[in-house]
Amino acid sequence: MDFEYSQKTKDLMERVSAFMDAHVYPNEHVFEQQVAEGDRWQPTRIVEEVKQKAKEAGLWNLFLPESELGAGLTNLEYAPLCEIMGRVAWAPEVFNCSAPDTGNMEVLARYGTEEQKKQWLVPLLAGEIRSCFAMTEPEVASSDATNIESSIRREGDEYVINGRKWWSSGANDPRCKVFIFMGKTDPNNPNRHAQQSMIIVPRDVKGVTILRHLPVFGYDDAPHGHGEVLFENVRVPVSNMLLGEGRGFEIAQGRLGPGRIHHCMRLIGLAERAFEKMCQRAKARTAFGRPIALHGVTAERIAEARIMIDQCRFLVLNAADKMDRYGNKVAAKEIAMIKVAAPNMACKVIDWAIQVHGGGGVSNDFGLAYAYAGARTLRLADGPDEVHRNAIAKMELKRIQ
Ligand SMILES: Cc1cc2nc3c(=O)[nH]c(=O)nc-3n(C[C@H](O)[C@H](O)[C@H](O)COP(=O)(O)OP(=O)(O)OC[C@H]3O[C@@H](n4cnc5c(N)ncnc54)[C@H](O)[C@@H]3O)c2cc1C
């Protein structure tokens, strides 16, 4: 494998970095101020303004490989760009590259009918609306998606949907206009992987109620947020079914691969930023007669953090390369590996950065506490560590006879 980024990637990295310098970093406090004032669940003006600038600069929809609808980049080309965006929590959105929309757009691009694409994919690609992925349920262990209990029952030309979901990220955002909903169309099918389907549910249809938002370690992630949502006798036309009844797992496989690796790419950016803050603080503060950086334990952690971040970056690039060359299914092990490695690495690096900052580290002054909260959720979201480790072990045990 050639570890050198292509000239095309280097040019884009330079452009995305310059854009972050000009429009994102200087507005981090503006974003915080705008969320804090008035209704927290309204989109901020700053994100809408910067989004427009990114669109005009052609830094838009950089994800979406193998589709003429995106920017035409491979996963490998996208990886370092996504990493740069991951340095600020709201930055991916300004490039129309944020979760869960990228995963949902990939689903619609890959599996949607022409009509579904026209109605939902086109405005999502234009950044006019946002979307939500509703799979996890409070009542069942949703890391095993065969447990999902929500029902999707056909009645004539409609499906009737009932269920309660939680951790539906983005549901609270008023721009969220569409859910991709997972539920059972055939609960008695002896093949548990053929019971589930995915269906499009418009946000404003009768019977959809946002019950509450769920905070993460006390952070509400406004205006995006994570909702608990009730679907009560929701009726949608049969044409809203994605791919076909019983094919929910097939779609999940297609969706979760790219979604997972994007999280990992962003986590590397998040860890890099915490690492920079750790080094700057360690050099700037003196304790017991010398800069904190010159206390052996800090130097040791700085070195270890550098090693861990670079290891993860290589794992991400390897997984991305494999996805590009052989497809998401063949790259399943590499995706699972990085999905375990990246959040654990980011949690450790951010934790060390917090430690170097002393009490300041757990305040809101340095963004480290929020960064830790975000990284920690990714040891759960899109599948807990244990589930991915089990999958990796299974593949290895099958391979080695
Ligand atoms: C911030 C955040 C955002 C999220 N966004 C979304 C979203 O947009 N849409 C959505 O549908 N969901 C979302 N989720 C939900 C997330 O995907 C689930 O929380 C996750 O899949 C785990 O499911 P669960 O919470 O039901 O845990 P459970 O399935 O109850 O698992 C609990 C624990 O059991 C252990 N465990 C489970 N299986 C195994 C195993 N095989 N071996 C060993 N131990 C095991 C693990 O330690 C696991 O953490 C989000 C979650 C968070 C925290």
Query: Is 117 among the domain residues?
Result: no
Out of 180, 212, 242, a domain closes at 242
Q: What is the mean pLDDT of the chain?
A: 96
Query: Is 368 among the domain residues?
Result: yes
Q: What is the pLDDT of residues 241-300, one digit of tens each?
A: 999 999 999 998 776 778 899 999 999 999 999 999 999 999 999 999 999 999 999 999
Q: What is the pLDDT of residues 69-119, one digit of tens each?
A: 878 899 999 999 999 999 999 999 999 999 999 999 999 999 999 999 999
Q: What is the pLDDT of residues 126-141, one digit of tens each?
A: 999 999 999 999 999 9
Q: How far apart are CA 115 and CA 112, in angstroms?
A: 8
CATH of the domain at 276: 1.20.140.10
Same domain, yes or no: 139 and 219: yes
Residues 229, 210: contact at Cβ < 8 Å?
yes
Whole-number Å distance, alpha carbon 324 to ligand 1 midpoint, is 28
3-state DSSP assignment of residue 151: strand
User: In this structure, how many other beta carbons lie within 10 angstroms of the beta carbon of residue 216?
Assistant: 16
How large is the average pLDDT for residues 187-197?
96
CATH of the domain at 31: 1.10.540.10
Query: Is 124 among the domain residues?
Result: no
Strand bridging mode 208-213 / 196-202? unpaired
Same domain, yes or no: 294 and 363: yes
pLDDT at 298: 97
Tokens 């830094």 found at: 59
Q: Give, for ligand 1, the residue of 139, 167, 260 to mutate: max count of ligand atoms closer than 8 Å to Cβ.
A: 167
Full domain range(s) for residue 141:
130-242
pTM: 0.96
Atom of ligand 1 nearest to the CA of 384: 49
% of the chain surpassing 90 pLDDT: 93
Q: Give, for ligand 1, the residue of 267, 380, 388, 394 to mutate: max count of ligand atoms closer than 8 Å to Cβ.
A: 380
Burial class (CB in 10 A: 0-12, 13-18, 19+), 84: buried
Is it the case that residue 301 has pLDDT exceeding 90?
yes
